[in-house]
Structure 1
Amino acid sequence: MDLYRGTNSNQLDYNMDTKHGKMQPCNEDRVDSGLDSLKDEEYNSIVNEMELLKVAPTTSPNQFYEPWKLERTEDGDTLLHVAIIHEAKDYARQMIDSSRNGPFLNTQNHQRQTPLHLAVIMEQPEIVAQLLKAGCDPLLVDDCGNTALHIACKKGSLHCFSVLTQGCTKQLPSILATPNYSGHNCLHLVSIHGFLSMVERLIDLGADINAQEQCNGRTPLHLAVDLQNLALVQLLISKGANVNSLTYGGYTPYHLTYGRQNTEIQQQLYELTDQELRELPESESEESDEEPLSEDDMEYDDFLWMGQK
């Protein structure tokens, strides 16, 4: 998602999809797992196979090695992935019950999605709850670095969001502090998409309201100003957001109001921002007072050839 680009220096511009390090490219807008990748006859074949398997709960110590648990599609999906994708909830429930506290529940497909990721994508909160109770790991991330809660935050899925935050209380602090591969944590994502009720809930659950996204150090308040979301700005301020927080480039949220249309946001932040932080920082691109070197001054005189200059 590209945010508004102001009229100031390029240090104020950024793309919300920027990637870092050596991570493989990923499309943040893609949250499917081959919903349409199976032909009808292939899907029907898989359904028939699941029926023949007569999945039932088992206490066998070798349950992971049951044949049906080793089945994979060309996308790396297990039969549980497929059941969730195609909303075959009865089959999904049977497989979950048969795999309680086993590694099968955390199997990742070629996009590194677990069944929990897909249950959130497919808006199946009851399956999300069953997976969590059965021992599915909510800390696992997909190939974009998103946990299941990151996806719920991005989609604005209130039901899945509620189930996840209530069902993984032990892991929740770690999940809330974890950025995805675009540098955004859960609070950044709900701020970017303007889900106010989820913003408030995450803060109440302990999310760091002043956490900096890893692209260039913007806090949720910076993002709210970028989006010109007055209601979000006011909510974050009321929740104690630091109006004097600085990006990596030295910009406060007030600085980001320059060139923007919402004067109410600008006025509110002007009154709250420390006086010494109201002026824009000097650009590093400003011309230096030193005179440029001449061509003669730039000649190299320290080369050695056969021991002589």
Structure 2
Amino acid sequence: MRASHLYLSFVGASSSYMSAMGAIGPMPSSTYSRWDPSGSPQSSALQQDFQFPSAGAYFPSVLAPLASDQSQTFGSALTTGYAQQSQEFSVHYVDCPVTAALPGSVHMGVQQSPSYSWPPVSSLQPAGDPSHQGFAGEMDSQKLEEARMYIQGMDYCKKMWQDEDGDTILHIYTAKGLREYAFAAAEDLCSLGKLDSREHKGKTALLVAVTANQPLIVQDLLSLGADINACDDKGQTALHLAATYGFPRVMQTILSMGLNVNLEARNFEGLTPLHCAAISHSNTMKALCSTVPGLADVGLQSQAEDKLSCVQLLLTYGASILSQDIKSNKTVLHLAVKEGNVQLVRFLLRINLPDMQAFVNMKAHGNTALHMAAGLHSSYHQEEIIRLLLNRGADPGVRNLENDQPAHLLQSGDRGEQLKFILKKRNAASRRRVTSLQDQE
């Protein structure tokens, strides 16, 4: 493995398979087709009059089977999907006994060694190959048989081999999007009790598949018994990663298989997957708002839609909207308001909760969402967010730990006075309603 230095350069996958994918930089939406928005069953919490993003009317059919005739093109770690990422990375392999092949030849970007034979080129098409039809498309049986024979022909040492980054043959096949070879390797490693082997950043093959946006391989690994709640060295589960990068098809695969997935798992920052999805959506909306007016970034719009769909999927499958992060007690509403993310605020406030008023007035270290909205001095959406919160029961009279009401946190000047008037007017109306109810009693 260390006899010579060979380099495999590709976009979007480092030796830890996208450990540096940027600040939540997702796969371009072009790597998979849109979902059919018709007939999407909703949980009781989501039976609402939701206005879709301006980028297009779009919601996933979260429970309906995916049409078998919808061809999907999923980017692998070596295909053009990652060519649109902003950074390039190099993976360092040294005479890998798995990926080495004929002398002097080059395959998949790796110089090949005479020591071992590499599977035929025809059998090494990424999972995103057009021959794979539909999200749940069948594997090529001939390629799968070739892969099984190849894996079975390896001796034990080769099967158990891990490179200097801890990557097994399964990690490598998964990152490259080689579905049949990943499946064959997973079958074999499963029999050896090594299906959930970890690389140097704690990622199992399942977590690599999620990060590489490979829903087909995610499905295969879960069907073979991969640990759905495994986490990396940052405490991130498969759901955390799918939510962070905004991969709704991967998330749907994880959630729809009926496995015992922990929707409330916390990463080492104290965040649930729902929190991660909200933060990621806010970051994309912030980037979208920073673009030149009139020159909408279609890629960012698609990312925002995908990430909002991840929020909806998590809520549809039972993630708690009341969950608070461990460090600051923020709910998803606090997180959305804090970033001035009016789109997500609208979405969350349209959900039919048994006690919306209690949710809106939850405190994060003493501050309600209305306190945070009052502090959005430079946000174009400050007034709209304040009005949205007030309309759903936010209490302007609540005081934080510093004994401040939301009105005390408003900016100075005319705009601050206008917003203060709105808060005082609503506060007075609330007091009149309380008095009226007391008189009726």
TM-score norm. by structure 1 comes to 0.71
1:140 pairs with 2:230: yes
Contact 1:55 1:98 in 2 (8 A): no
Q: Of 206, 210, 215, which aligns to 2:327?
A: 215
Return the alpha-carbon distance in structure 2 between the equivalents of residues 45 and 170 of structure 1: 32
Q: Of 241, 244, 265, which aligns to 2:361?
A: 244
Aligned equivalent of 1:21: none
Q: Of 339, 350, 369, which aligns to 1:227?
A: 339
Return the alpha-carbon distance in structure 2 between the equivalents of residues 50 and 127 of structure 1: 24
How far did residue 266 of structure 1 move?
Answer: 1.0
Q: Of 267, 271, 276, which aligns to 1:184?
A: 271
How far did residue 165 of structure 1 move?
Answer: 0.9
1:86 pairs with 2:176: yes
1:110 pairs with 2:200: yes
1:198 pairs with 2:324: no
How far did residue 176 of structure 1 move?
Answer: 1.1
Return the alpha-carbon distance in structure 2 between the equivalents of residues 30 and 95 of structure 1: 32
- More divergent stretch after superposition (198-207 vs 107-116): 198-207
Return the alpha-carbon distance in structure 1 between the equivalents of residues 148 and 263 of structure 2: 36
Aligned equivalent of 2:395: 274
Whichever residue aligns with residue 314 of structure 2, its letter is L
SS in 2 for 1:91: helix
In structure 2, the gaps of 5 or more residues are: 1-18, 25-76, 78-87, 102-115, 120-145, 282-306, 405-441
Deviations, residues 162-217 of structure 1 (Å, cap 9, x unaligned): 111112x3322xx2111101111110011112222221221111111010011211
1:171 pairs with 2:291: no
1:256 pairs with 2:372: yes
Return the alpha-carbon distance in structure 1 between the equivalents of residues 368 and 274 of structure 2: 19
Whichever residue aligns with residue 267 of structure 1, its letter is R
Deviations, residues 18-47 of structure 1 (Å, cap 9, x unaligned): xxxxxxxx9895899x962225x6358624
Return the alpha-carbon distance in structure 2 between the equivalents of residues 212 and 45 of structure 1: 45
How far did residue 91 of structure 1 move?
Answer: 2.0
Contact 1:28 1:144 in 2 (8 A): no
Aligned equivalent of 1:46: 99
How far did residue 274 of structure 1 move?
Answer: 2.9
Aligned equivalent of 1:37: 91
Alpha-carbon distance change, 166 to 102 in structure 1, aligned in 2, over 3 angstroms: farther
- More divergent stretch after superposition (233-242 vs 68-77): 233-242
Alpha-carbon RMSD across the aligned residues, in angstroms, is 3.2
Alpha-carbon distance change, 159 to 68 in structure 1, aligned in 2, over 3 angstroms: same
Alpha-carbon distance change, 203 to 132 in structure 1, aligned in 2, over 3 angstroms: same
SS in 1 for 2:232: coil
SS in 2 for 1:142: coil
Contact 1:187 1:202 in 2 (8 A): yes
- More divergent stretch after superposition (251-260 vs 96-105): 96-105
Aligned equivalent of 1:293: none
Contact 1:76 1:108 in 2 (8 A): yes
Deviations, residues 214-257 of structure 1 (Å, cap 9, x unaligned): 1211000000101211121121122235001011x211000001
Q: Number of residues paired by the alignment?
A: 248
Alpha-carbon distance change, 234 to 50 in structure 1, aligned in 2, over 3 angstroms: farther
Whichever residue aligns with residue 182 of structure 1, its letter is E
How far did residue 73 of structure 1 move?
Answer: 0.1
Contact 2:159 2:189 in 1 (8 A): no
TM-score norm. by structure 2 comes to 0.51
Return the alpha-carbon distance in structure 2 between the equivalents of residues 206 and 104 of structure 1: 31
Whichever residue aligns with residue 191 of structure 1, its letter is A
Identity fraction in percent: 28
Return the alpha-carbon distance in structure 2 between the equivalents of residues 89 and 47 of structure 1: 19
Alpha-carbon distance change, 85 to 275 in structure 1, aligned in 2, over 3 angstroms: closer
Alpha-carbon distance change, 139 to 82 in structure 1, aligned in 2, over 3 angstroms: same
In structure 1, the gaps of 5 or more residues are: 1-25, 285-309
Return the alpha-carbon distance in structure 1 between the equivalents of residues 214 and 401 of structure 2: 48
SS in 2 for 1:177: coil
Deviations, residues 29-69 of structure 1 (Å, cap 9, x unaligned): 5899x962225x635862434748x8637xx9xxxx93333
Whichever residue aligns with residue 367 of structure 2, its letter is Y
